[in-house]
């Protein structure tokens, strides 16, 4: 349509709107009745269009409910308004089409939006986050753990979003049968313009309801759950699309602001280690074997079943180590790869994509690189495909001299995703012996695999019961003796048997046995001499809260979870669940110093590992975001990629805007505000540094300045 005709049409509509407004002011009652009747008439004449609006709005609303699980998400008007504005805008284009093509267009859009809801529903179950365009490159890794997805992710409600296209199709067929749909070449441009204008009005009303804080969080896109809660799923994805292309246009978009944030943060950071403590250089020159424990949570170390510890080897090692019992991983969607990245660089995962996949070609200061400068040989070992999480590329980028992947192992025993941990450790010892024989100090990361979701191969984990066995008593309370065996008869209660968490515990016990065999093998081969063991859990097992409620509140008489109103009931709510996600971290040496055998309870994150080890082994990274835990008092803060954070005093949930006090003392608003501002600042600095490759640019600047000074001195 020529621009003059469009302008004329818009003018006509605007004049009609002014007349209607004047009529409403002069005749409010009649106008209200007329408006109501007009709306009914408009709906009757455009049933398919309004059904399109309703079913897609319904799908986006139940998505928020099924993922975040609060009634507030059903009643929250703001995201519904934003979703409706976008759905209305999408639907309005159907009026520009010929009548015979409108259903095809509306049906196609509905299918796309429904698939979007299904993908987000599945993704949220696994990652507790919403999917991003920037994460498309990581979909390949889900296929490699497809059993985990089908076992732990698919829920019945994930298919409820198919209601939208099915309902639209049924309405279309019904209208066609009753001949209320007219085919033809006619386009309704005026309806399209009115719909677009209405969408714009709704968008303006929505924007007017926003606070500056909400707008700021929307622009930063750190907290996806918060954005979906306040802006709706469709606005989130539009914003995500913009943020996802940001790394591709770094020279055009945001570089100046990123550099400003970077310079402000690092302007007072010294280029060399300034602080010292009792652990400074205590391990300088010693070998390091870093054990990456897949899905190992700290809660496992506190559990016993029928008098048998769940993790006896890990517990024994912790008792002889510097054991950090309040330690948290800081992973995003990159899971294990995020841990490897954060531990080795003391940087945070990115807010779009993953460092291992999307930013492998950046320059990083890492533990392997810094130790290589001190004469170390560096290596990593993992009996999985080298391409998984792009490790074969990223490990080289981090500075590992060699990555021993699946192709260098004999896959003689398979459990779960690949080579069993026991076989992996046995073969790795032989490789470490060869490395040790070269006479150079070394830093090696060995990455476990068996204790990985879905924890389904319980028949391969060995015998470890997670039920409750008690002596069978007679009516007088005396033990019942079996006449044939002479032993006390037992009665068994299922407890955790058959649950996902119970299967996880069986897998954990196997992993602990494998760990014990590895440590024993290192000892027998003399590889524990002059060597420090660093062990950490990479992330939690991401298992359902309901199983934890059963674990802590089991009613054995009824084989059920106790009612929540029961005295002493331990409720695992969202915040308590986050605290249960902490993982073990310890540093072990055969030295018998008293200072090397104690528990540290200060809250600590994965990004604190590098500066803590750096002080002990004599290396330093100017760009590290974490702190040496022995140089902190009560002020350490652990920041999570979703914007949540915690200190020794409080766990703060940014998405929900509430907190859990960890000490019996009042928490001031100023304290919350200060920590919140710091966490946002750190997340932005880390993301800017990675996306815009600012370490490389900063070093180039320093080299240029150094060359200039040398030239001047020479002159």
Q: Which of 151-160, 225-234, 257-266 has the highest mean predicted lDDT (pLDDT)?
A: 257-266
Q: Which residue has the higher pLDDT, 220 or 502?
A: 502
In the prediction, which pLDDT does 385 show?
A: 86
Q: Which residues pair with 481 in a beta bridge?
A: 488
| Separation between Cα atoms, residue 450 and residue 507, nearest integer Å | 8
Provide the pLDDT confidence category of residue 223 given band limits of 50, 70 and 90: low
In the prediction, which pLDDT does 705 show?
A: 62
Provide the pLDDT confidence category of residue 158 given band limits of 50, 70 and 90: confident
Question: Which residue intervals of 387-499 are DSSP H helices?
Answer: 391-398, 421-436
- Residues 65-92 have pLDDT tens digits of 888 766 666 667 888 989 999 998 998 8
Q: Which residue has the higher pLDDT, 621 or 334?
A: 621
In the prediction, which pLDDT does 25 show?
A: 64
Question: How large is the average pLDDT for residues 513-533?
Answer: 97
Provide the pLDDT confidence category of residue 24 given band limits of 50, 70 and 90: low
In the prediction, which pLDDT does 251 show?
A: 46
Question: What DSSP designation does 690 have?
Answer: H
Q: Which residue has the higher pLDDT, 601 or 11?
A: 601
What tokens does 170 get?
């049924």
CA-to-CA separations, 606 to 6, 412, 484, 531, 690, in angstroms, rounded: 59, 33, 56, 22, 17
Give yes or no for residue 2 having a pLDDT over 70: no
| Separation between Cα atoms, residue 381 and residue 400, nearest integer Å | 10
Considering the domain 275-540+581-636, what is its CATH architecture? 3-Layer(aba) Sandwich (3.40)
In the prediction, which pLDDT does 509 show?
A: 98
Q: Which residue has the higher pLDDT, 194 or 54?
A: 54
- Residues 374-422 have pLDDT tens digits of 999 999 999 998 888 889 899 999 999 999 999 999 999 999 889 999 9
CB under 8 Å, gap of 24 or more: what pairs does 623-628 form?
623/266, 623/269, 623/345, 623/346, 623/347, 623/365, 623/689, 623/695, 624/345, 624/346, 624/347, 624/365, 625/346, 625/347, 625/348, 625/682, 625/685, 625/686, 626/346, 628/275, 628/277
Provide the pLDDT confidence category of residue 177 given band limits of 50, 70 and 90: confident
In the prediction, which pLDDT does 36 show?
A: 47
**Backbone CA torsion sign across 496, 502, 506, 509:** negative
Question: How large is the average pLDDT for residues 362-384?
Answer: 97
In the prediction, which pLDDT does 715 show?
A: 60
- Residues 427-444 have pLDDT tens digits of 999 999 999 999 999 999
Do 83 and 54 meet the contact criterion of CB atoms below 8 Å apart?
no
In this prediction the pTM is: 0.78
CB atoms within 10 A of CB 149: 16
In the prediction, which pLDDT does 192 show?
A: 80
Provide the pLDDT confidence category of residue 197 given band limits of 50, 70 and 90: confident
In the prediction, which pLDDT does 186 show?
A: 66
Do 266 and 420 meet the contact criterion of CB atoms below 8 Å apart?
no
Do 604 and 629 meet the contact criterion of CB atoms below 8 Å apart?
yes
Give yes or no for residue 19 having a pLDDT over 90: no
Provide the pLDDT confidence category of residue 665 given band limits of 50, 70 and 90: confident
- Residues 450-461 have pLDDT tens digits of 999 889 899 999
Give yes or no for residue 28 having a pLDDT over 80: no
CA torsion angle for 580, 582, 588, 592 (degrees, to 10)? -60
* SS3 of the chain: helix, strand, coil, percent, to 5: 55, 10, 35
In the prediction, which pLDDT does 202 show?
A: 86
Nearest residue to 143 via CA among 128, 153, 133 = 153
Q: Where are the domains of the chain?
A: 1-45, 46-244, 275-540+581-636
Provide the pLDDT confidence category of residue 289 given band limits of 50, 70 and 90: very high
Residues 6+ apart with CB under 8 A from 236: 130, 224, 227, 228
| Separation between Cα atoms, residue 498 and residue 634, nearest integer Å | 42
In the prediction, which pLDDT does 327 show?
A: 98
Provide the pLDDT confidence category of residue 681 given band limits of 50, 70 and 90: very high
| Separation between Cα atoms, residue 560 and residue 499, nearest integer Å | 12
Q: Which residue has the higher pLDDT, 639 or 63?
A: 639
Q: What is the mean pLDDT of the chain?
A: 86
- Residues 539-561 have pLDDT tens digits of 999 888 889 999 999 999 999 99
């Amino acid at each position: 349509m020529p621009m003059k005709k469009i302008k004329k049409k818009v003018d006509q509509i605007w004049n009609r709107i002014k007349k209607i407004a004047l009529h409403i002011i002069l005749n409010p009652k009649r106008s209200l009745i007329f408006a109501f009747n007009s709306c009914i008439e408009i709906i009757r004449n455009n049933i398919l269009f309004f059904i399109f609006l309703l079913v897609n709005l319904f799908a986006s609303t139940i998505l928020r409910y099924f993922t975040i699980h609060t009634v507030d998400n059903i009643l929250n008007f703001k995201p519904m308004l934003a979703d409706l504005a976008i759905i209305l805008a999408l639907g309005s284009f159907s009026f520009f089409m010929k009548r015979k093509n409108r259903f095809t267009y509306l049906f196609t859009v509905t299918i796309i939006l429904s698939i979007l809801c299904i993908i987000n529903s599945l993704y949220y179950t696994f990652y507790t986050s919403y999917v991003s365009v920037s994460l498309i490159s990581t979909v390949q890794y889900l296929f490699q753990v497809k059993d985990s997805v089908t076992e732990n992710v698919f829920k019945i409600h994930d298919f409820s979003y198919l209601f939208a296209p099915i309902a639209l199709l049924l309405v279309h067929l019904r209208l066609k049968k009753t001949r209320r749909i007219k085919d033809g070449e006619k386009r309704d441009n005026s309806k399209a313009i009115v719909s677009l204008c209405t969408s714009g009005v709704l968008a303006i009303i929505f924007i007017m309801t926003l606070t500056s804080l909400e707008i700021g969080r929307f622009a930063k896109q750190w907290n996806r759950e918060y954005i979906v809660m306040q802006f709706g799923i469709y606005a989130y994805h539009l914003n995500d699309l913009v943020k996802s292309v940001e790394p591709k246009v770094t020279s055009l978009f945001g570089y100046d602001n990123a550099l400003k944030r970077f310079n402000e943060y690092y302007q007072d950071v010294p280029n060399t280690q300034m602080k010292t403590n009792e652990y400074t250089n205590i391990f300088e020159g010693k070998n390091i074997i870093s054990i990456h424990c897949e899905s190992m949570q700290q809660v496992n170390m506190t559990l016993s079943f029928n008098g048998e510890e769940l993790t006896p080897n890990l517990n024994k090692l912790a008792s002889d180590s510097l054991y950090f019992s309040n330690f948290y991983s800081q992973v995003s969607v990159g899971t294990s790869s995020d841990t490897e990245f954060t531990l080795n660089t003391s940087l945070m995962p990115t807010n779009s994509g993953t460092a291992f996949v999307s930013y492998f070609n950046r320059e990083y200061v890492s533990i392997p690189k810094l130790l290589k400068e001190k004469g170390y040989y560096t290596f990593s070992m993992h009996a999985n495909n080298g391409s998984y999480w792009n490790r074969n590329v990223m490990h080289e980028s981090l500075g590992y001299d060699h990555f021993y992947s699946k192709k260098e192992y004999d896959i003689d025993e398979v459990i779960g995703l690949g080579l069993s941990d026991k076989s992996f450790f046995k073969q790795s010892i032989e490789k470490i012996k060869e490395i040790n024989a070269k006479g150079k100090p070394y830093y090696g990361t060995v990455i476990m695999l068996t204790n990985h979701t879905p924890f389904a191969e319980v028949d391969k984990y060995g015998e470890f019961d997670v039920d409750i066995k008690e002596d069978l008593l007679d009516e007088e309370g005396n033990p019942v003796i079996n006449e044939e065996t002479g032993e006390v008869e037992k009665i068994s209660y299922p407890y955790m048997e058959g649950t996902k968490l119970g299967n996880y515990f069986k897998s954990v016990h196997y992993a602990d046995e494998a760990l014990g065999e590895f440590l024993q093998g290192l000892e027998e081969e003399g590889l524990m001499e002059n060597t420090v063991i660093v062990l950490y859990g990479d992330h939690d097992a991401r298992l359902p809260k309901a199983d934890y409620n059963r674990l802590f509140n089991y009613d054995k008489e009824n084989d059920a979870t106790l009612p929540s109103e029961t005295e002493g009931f331990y409720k695992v709510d969202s915040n308590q669940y986050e605290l249960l996600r902490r993982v073990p971290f310890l540093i072990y040496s055969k030295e018998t110093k008293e200072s090397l055998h104690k528990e540290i309870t200060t809250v600590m994150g994965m990004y604190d590992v590098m500066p803590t080890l750096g002080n002990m082994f004599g290396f330093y990274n100017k760009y590290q975001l974490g702190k040496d835990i022995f140089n902190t008092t009560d002020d350490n803060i652990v920041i999570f990629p979703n914007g949540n954070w915690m200190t020794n005093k409080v766990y703060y949930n940014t998405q929900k805007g509430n907190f859990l006090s960890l000490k019996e003392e009042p928490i001031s608003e100023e304290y919350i505000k200060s920590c919140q501002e710091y966490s946002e600042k750190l997340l932005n600095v880390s993301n800017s540094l990675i996306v815009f490759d600012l370490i490389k640019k900063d070093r180039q600047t320093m080299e240029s300045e150094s060359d200039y000074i040398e030239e001047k001195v020479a002159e």
